Amino acid sequence: MAPKPKILVVEDDTAALRQLEATLKTMGATPKCFASSKKAAELLNKEKFDGAFLDWDTPELSGEQLTKLIRHSKSNAKIPIAMITEHTDTRSIAQGFQMGVTFFLSKPIGQKELGRLLNASRGAMLEERRRYLRVPLSVPVHCLWADKKITAKTIDVSAGGLLLALGNPPAAGTEVTVDFALAGLPPFNLKAEVVRASGSQCALKFARLTAEQRDALKSFAERHLARMPGGA
Protein backbone atom coordinates (compact mmCIF):
# COMPACT_ATOMS: atom_id res chain seq x y z
CA MET A 1 0.00 0.00 0.00
CA ALA A 2 1.32 3.47 -0.91
CA PRO A 3 1.85 5.98 1.90
CA LYS A 4 -1.11 8.29 2.52
CA PRO A 5 -0.41 11.70 0.96
CA LYS A 6 -0.49 14.60 3.42
CA ILE A 7 -2.50 17.41 1.82
CA LEU A 8 -2.67 21.06 2.87
CA VAL A 9 -6.24 22.32 2.37
CA VAL A 10 -7.14 26.03 2.63
CA GLU A 11 -10.78 27.05 2.21
CA ASP A 12 -12.55 29.82 4.15
CA ASP A 13 -16.03 28.35 3.56
CA THR A 14 -16.44 26.01 6.55
CA ALA A 15 -18.96 23.71 4.86
CA ALA A 16 -16.79 23.36 1.75
CA LEU A 17 -13.71 22.78 3.92
CA ARG A 18 -15.38 19.93 5.82
CA GLN A 19 -16.60 18.40 2.57
CA LEU A 20 -13.09 18.46 1.13
CA GLU A 21 -11.68 16.99 4.33
CA ALA A 22 -14.17 14.11 4.37
CA THR A 23 -13.75 13.36 0.66
CA LEU A 24 -9.94 13.37 0.80
CA LYS A 25 -9.98 11.05 3.83
CA THR A 26 -12.31 8.68 1.99
CA MET A 27 -9.84 8.64 -0.91
CA GLY A 28 -6.93 7.66 1.33
CA ALA A 29 -5.31 11.05 1.90
CA THR A 30 -4.46 12.79 5.17
CA PRO A 31 -5.76 16.37 4.87
CA LYS A 32 -4.59 19.18 7.14
CA CYS A 33 -7.32 21.80 6.88
CA PHE A 34 -7.36 25.54 7.51
CA ALA A 35 -10.00 28.22 7.14
CA SER A 36 -7.25 30.81 7.75
CA SER A 37 -4.69 31.19 4.97
CA LYS A 38 -2.35 33.02 7.37
CA LYS A 39 -2.28 30.06 9.76
CA ALA A 40 -1.62 27.73 6.84
CA ALA A 41 1.24 29.95 5.65
CA GLU A 42 2.92 29.70 9.06
CA LEU A 43 3.44 25.96 8.52
CA LEU A 44 5.04 26.09 5.09
CA ASN A 45 8.61 26.03 6.43
CA LYS A 46 7.76 23.91 9.48
CA GLU A 47 5.91 20.92 8.00
CA LYS A 48 6.30 18.85 4.87
CA PHE A 49 3.21 18.37 2.68
CA ASP A 50 2.75 16.18 -0.40
CA GLY A 51 0.27 18.49 -2.11
CA ALA A 52 -2.00 21.49 -1.57
CA PHE A 53 -5.62 22.40 -2.33
CA LEU A 54 -6.07 26.18 -2.14
CA ASP A 55 -9.12 28.41 -2.54
CA TRP A 56 -8.31 31.31 -4.87
CA ASP A 57 -10.43 33.86 -2.98
CA THR A 58 -9.48 33.38 0.67
CA PRO A 59 -9.23 36.53 2.83
CA GLU A 60 -5.98 37.45 4.64
CA LEU A 61 -3.79 35.80 1.99
CA SER A 62 -5.29 34.94 -1.39
CA GLY A 63 -4.69 31.63 -3.12
CA GLU A 64 -2.35 33.50 -5.46
CA GLN A 65 -0.27 34.85 -2.55
CA LEU A 66 -0.21 31.46 -0.82
CA THR A 67 0.95 29.78 -4.04
CA LYS A 68 3.88 32.20 -4.23
CA LEU A 69 4.80 31.46 -0.60
CA ILE A 70 4.67 27.70 -1.26
CA ARG A 71 6.86 28.01 -4.35
CA HIS A 72 9.45 29.95 -2.32
CA SER A 73 9.32 27.73 0.78
CA LYS A 74 12.21 25.47 1.74
CA SER A 75 10.22 22.28 2.23
CA ASN A 76 7.25 22.50 -0.13
CA ALA A 77 8.42 24.41 -3.22
CA LYS A 78 7.87 21.49 -5.61
CA ILE A 79 4.59 20.02 -4.38
CA PRO A 80 1.60 19.89 -6.77
CA ILE A 81 -0.91 22.69 -6.10
CA ALA A 82 -4.61 22.47 -7.00
CA MET A 83 -6.39 25.83 -7.09
CA ILE A 84 -10.10 25.82 -6.23
CA THR A 85 -11.80 28.69 -8.01
CA GLU A 86 -14.88 30.16 -9.63
CA HIS A 87 -12.62 32.04 -12.06
CA THR A 88 -12.76 30.07 -15.29
CA ASP A 89 -11.62 32.78 -17.72
CA THR A 90 -8.51 32.07 -19.76
CA ARG A 91 -6.59 35.03 -18.35
CA SER A 92 -7.02 33.96 -14.70
CA ILE A 93 -6.08 30.37 -15.46
CA ALA A 94 -2.99 31.45 -17.43
CA GLN A 95 -2.01 33.72 -14.54
CA GLY A 96 -2.38 30.82 -12.10
CA PHE A 97 -0.20 28.49 -14.16
CA GLN A 98 2.44 31.21 -14.41
CA MET A 99 2.46 31.53 -10.59
CA GLY A 100 3.02 27.80 -10.17
CA VAL A 101 -0.46 26.27 -9.93
CA THR A 102 -0.46 22.66 -11.15
CA PHE A 103 -4.21 22.01 -11.52
CA PHE A 104 -7.46 23.97 -11.41
CA LEU A 105 -10.69 22.76 -9.80
CA SER A 106 -13.91 24.62 -10.61
CA LYS A 107 -16.53 25.13 -7.90
CA PRO A 108 -18.65 23.27 -6.97
CA ILE A 109 -16.23 20.34 -6.71
CA GLY A 110 -17.54 16.90 -7.60
CA GLN A 111 -16.21 13.78 -5.90
CA LYS A 112 -15.29 12.13 -9.22
CA GLU A 113 -13.35 15.20 -10.33
CA LEU A 114 -11.52 15.33 -7.01
CA GLY A 115 -10.71 11.63 -7.24
CA ARG A 116 -9.29 11.98 -10.75
CA LEU A 117 -7.14 14.90 -9.64
CA LEU A 118 -5.81 13.04 -6.60
CA ASN A 119 -4.93 10.01 -8.72
CA ALA A 120 -3.22 12.22 -11.31
CA SER A 121 -1.15 13.83 -8.53
CA ARG A 122 -0.02 10.65 -6.77
CA GLY A 123 3.06 10.13 -8.92
CA ALA A 124 4.31 13.67 -8.30
CA MET A 125 3.52 13.38 -4.58
CA LEU A 126 5.44 10.11 -4.25
CA GLU A 127 8.43 11.54 -6.12
CA GLU A 128 8.43 14.58 -3.82
CA ARG A 129 8.29 12.35 -0.74
CA ARG A 130 11.16 10.30 -2.07
CA ARG A 131 13.22 13.44 -2.75
CA TYR A 132 12.54 15.00 0.63
CA LEU A 133 12.52 11.93 2.89
CA ARG A 134 15.18 12.01 5.60
CA VAL A 135 16.19 8.57 6.85
CA PRO A 136 17.59 8.68 10.42
CA LEU A 137 20.83 6.73 10.13
CA SER A 138 24.32 6.79 11.62
CA VAL A 139 27.10 5.68 9.27
CA PRO A 140 30.69 6.93 8.97
CA VAL A 141 31.42 9.47 6.22
CA HIS A 142 34.95 10.40 5.17
CA CYS A 143 34.98 14.11 4.27
CA LEU A 144 37.70 15.89 2.31
CA TRP A 145 37.91 19.63 1.64
CA ALA A 146 40.85 22.00 1.23
CA ASP A 147 43.66 20.33 3.20
CA LYS A 148 41.36 18.66 5.73
CA LYS A 149 40.31 15.03 5.94
CA ILE A 150 37.80 14.21 8.68
CA THR A 151 35.53 11.27 9.47
CA ALA A 152 32.02 12.36 10.46
CA LYS A 153 28.79 10.50 11.26
CA THR A 154 25.49 10.90 9.46
CA ILE A 155 22.44 12.10 11.40
CA ASP A 156 20.15 11.46 8.46
CA VAL A 157 20.38 10.57 4.78
CA SER A 158 18.18 11.61 1.85
CA ALA A 159 18.22 11.13 -1.91
CA GLY A 160 19.58 14.66 -2.17
CA GLY A 161 22.15 14.92 0.60
CA LEU A 162 23.40 14.22 4.12
CA LEU A 163 23.09 15.80 7.54
CA LEU A 164 26.34 15.21 9.42
CA ALA A 165 27.48 15.44 13.01
CA LEU A 166 30.75 17.28 12.46
CA GLY A 167 32.70 19.54 14.80
CA ASN A 168 34.01 22.77 13.22
CA PRO A 169 32.19 22.19 9.92
CA PRO A 170 33.25 23.99 6.72
CA ALA A 171 31.43 27.18 5.78
CA ALA A 172 28.31 27.22 3.62
CA GLY A 173 29.21 27.05 -0.06
CA THR A 174 32.29 24.86 0.48
CA GLU A 175 32.66 21.88 -1.87
CA VAL A 176 33.31 18.63 0.01
CA THR A 177 34.18 15.15 -1.27
CA VAL A 178 32.37 12.45 0.72
CA ASP A 179 32.93 8.69 0.88
CA PHE A 180 30.28 6.53 2.55
CA ALA A 181 28.36 3.26 2.22
CA LEU A 182 24.68 2.38 2.67
CA ALA A 183 23.39 -1.14 3.31
CA GLY A 184 22.73 -3.06 0.12
CA LEU A 185 24.29 -0.44 -2.18
CA PRO A 186 27.74 0.08 -3.73
CA PRO A 187 30.01 2.59 -1.91
CA PHE A 188 29.53 6.25 -2.79
CA ASN A 189 32.25 8.77 -3.65
CA LEU A 190 30.47 12.07 -4.27
CA LYS A 191 30.95 15.79 -4.53
CA ALA A 192 28.68 17.79 -2.25
CA GLU A 193 28.12 21.41 -1.28
CA VAL A 194 27.68 22.67 2.27
CA VAL A 195 24.26 24.34 2.37
CA ARG A 196 24.09 24.89 6.12
CA ALA A 197 26.65 24.71 8.92
CA SER A 198 25.94 25.47 12.56
CA GLY A 199 27.45 24.26 15.81
CA SER A 200 28.36 20.61 15.32
CA GLN A 201 26.04 19.92 12.37
CA CYS A 202 26.62 20.24 8.65
CA ALA A 203 24.02 19.83 5.87
CA LEU A 204 25.37 18.71 2.49
CA LYS A 205 23.65 18.72 -0.89
CA PHE A 206 24.93 16.22 -3.46
CA ALA A 207 26.27 17.64 -6.72
CA ARG A 208 26.85 16.04 -10.13
CA LEU A 209 25.25 12.68 -9.40
CA THR A 210 25.42 10.06 -12.14
CA ALA A 211 22.18 8.40 -13.23
CA GLU A 212 23.27 5.20 -11.45
CA GLN A 213 24.02 7.04 -8.21
CA ARG A 214 20.72 8.93 -8.36
CA ASP A 215 18.79 5.69 -8.94
CA ALA A 216 20.62 3.95 -6.09
CA LEU A 217 19.81 6.76 -3.64
CA LYS A 218 16.18 6.79 -4.77
CA SER A 219 16.02 3.02 -4.27
CA PHE A 220 17.38 3.42 -0.75
CA ALA A 221 14.79 6.12 0.02
CA GLU A 222 11.98 3.99 -1.45
CA ARG A 223 12.75 1.07 0.85
CA HIS A 224 12.46 3.35 3.87
CA LEU A 225 9.45 5.17 2.42
CA ALA A 226 7.58 1.86 2.31
CA ARG A 227 8.16 1.46 6.07
CA MET A 228 6.58 4.82 6.93
CA PRO A 229 3.10 4.89 8.54
CA GLY A 230 0.62 4.02 5.82
CA GLY A 231 3.35 2.36 3.75
CA ALA A 232 3.68 -1.23 2.64
pLDDT digits (tens, 9 = 90+) for 63-112: 899 999 999 988 888 888 989 888 777 887 888 888 889 888 877 777 77
- Domain limit, last residue, from 96, 111, 132: 132
In 3-state terms, what secondary structure has residue 189? strand
The answer to whether residues 219 and 173 belong to one domain is yes
Amino acid at 176: V
- Domain limit, last residue, from 89, 106, 132: 132
**Contact of 82 with 125, CB cutoff 8 Å:** no
Domain count, the chain: 2
- Domain limit, last residue, from 87, 108, 132: 132
Q: Report the pLDDT value the prediction gives residue 85, as an integer from 0 to 100.
A: 84
**Inside any domain, residue 230:** no
The answer to whether residues 17 and 114 belong to one domain is yes
CATH number, domain with residue 204? 2.40.10.220
Q: What is the pLDDT of residues 174-192, one digit of tens each?
A: 999 999 999 888 899 999 9
**What is d(CA 180, CA 42) in angstroms, rounded to the nearest whole number?**
36
Q: Report the pLDDT value the prediction gives residue 1, as an integer from 0 to 100.
A: 45
User: Could you give phi then psi for residue 42, rounded to 5 degrees?
Assistant: -65, -20
The answer to whether residues 77 and 172 belong to one domain is no
**Contact of 132 with 161, CB cutoff 8 Å:** no
What is the average per-residue pLDDT within 123-146? Answer: 80
Q: Report the pLDDT value the prediction gives residue 120, as an integer from 0 to 100.
A: 73
In 3-state terms, what secondary structure has residue 36? coil
The answer to whether residues 168 and 123 belong to one domain is no
What's the Cα-to-Cα distance from 29 to each of 8, 20, 191, rounded to whole Å? Answer: 10, 11, 37
The answer to whether residues 25 and 125 belong to one domain is yes
Q: Measured on CA atoms in the order 165, 131, 195, 147, is the torsion positive or negative?
A: positive
The answer to whether residues 51 and 40 belong to one domain is yes
Q: Tell me the pLDDT of the chain averaged across its residues.
A: 85
**Inside any domain, residue 231:** no
| Structural domain boundaries enclosing 164 | 135-225
